[in-house]
Amino acid sequence: MTRVEEGPEQERARTWFESLRDRICAAFEAIEDDCRNPLVEAEPPGRFVRTAWQRPGGGGGVMAIMRGRVFEKVGVNVSTVWGTFEPRFAAEIPGAAADPRFWASGISLVAHLRSPHVPPAHMNTRHIRTTKAWFGGGADLNPIYPDPEDTARFHARLEAACAGYAPDAYTRFKKWADEYFFIPHRGEPRGVGGIFYDYLEEDFERDFAFTREVGEAFLDVYPQIVRRHMDRIWTEEERRYQLVRRGRYVEFNLLYDRGTKFGLATGGNPEAILMSLPPLVAWP
């Protein structure tokens, strides 16, 4: 297996991540067009701005960032990078200790909304190759004001995505998410959870099909949740509370997030990696 040059399986994964990005961007721009909230309706609907970047050690990606009247800041980024891990980092990556060359591709999405009533969300799926090859990823919902119907709808769609993979997949991956998306120094979860998985490496076709289904599930359910709340009026007090709760997201992503650590350790574009951070945040 070649880890620097792209083979047929890597090409399929990369192409999928890119096509999913394009469909998500189109769905989010349609939401911007349909917003009728009087607080923001006079503003122009947002559009994604795409910026390509190159990684000096090999590969690169495209940042797709939109600032609009529904989405205060949303990034849907795809990167495909290759090269050689630094020795200390290679020791932490499966299959890289003996041979530090790698190839990695993935999609990363983080949405921060204007309205405190529309929940922020995260979705990431990826395919990584060293001497091993695996898929990982997940999705979680991070409401400012948790809504039981949103939570139930989000989890039900992810559970349906897991159903075809393994009978216990949802239970395992939900538990993993509950443990992963937890802020130890705060003693609280980042949001209302979702699923998280990693190191799926037994069967490329099966694992790739599941990863695609996770992307499809997110594209199906999250726009529904956004549309359900996007025209609700909010108050200044609700906005202030939103900025405080965003601080939890910042703390998690800078201190604990695997994707942030991987991207920075492999020489990725800091602007693309840190697109997950909200444009405004407050610590009282």
Q: Is the dihedral of CA 10, 12, 16, 22 positive or negative?
A: positive
Q: Check: CB of residue 48 under 8 Å from CB of residue 68.
A: no
What angle, 0 to 180 degrees and rounded to 10, lies between the N-to-C axes of helices 148-163 and 169-180?
130
Identified catalytic residue from 117, 122, 155, 229: 122
Q: Check: CB of residue 193 under 8 Å from CB of residue 175.
A: no
Q: Compute the distance between CA of residue 70 and CA of residue 55 in angstroms, rounded to an integer.
A: 32
Name residue, tokens 């594209």.
219
Q: Please report, for residues 144, 245, 255, the alpha-carbon distance to residue 281 in angstroms, rounded to integers and kept in the order given.
A: 13, 8, 16
Q: Is 122 a catalytic residue?
A: yes
Q: Compute the distance between CA of residue 163 and CA of residue 170 in angstroms, rounded to an integer.
A: 7
Q: What does the block give as tokens for 133?
A: 């090859």
Distance of CA 82 to the CA centre of its chain: 20
Q: What is the CA radius of gyration of the chain?
A: 18
Q: Compute the distance between CA of residue 65 and CA of residue 269 in angstroms, rounded to an integer.
A: 14
Phi and psi of 192, rounded to 5°?
A: -105, 15
Q: Which residues contact 168 (CB under 8 A, 6 or more apart)?
A: none
Active site residues: 122
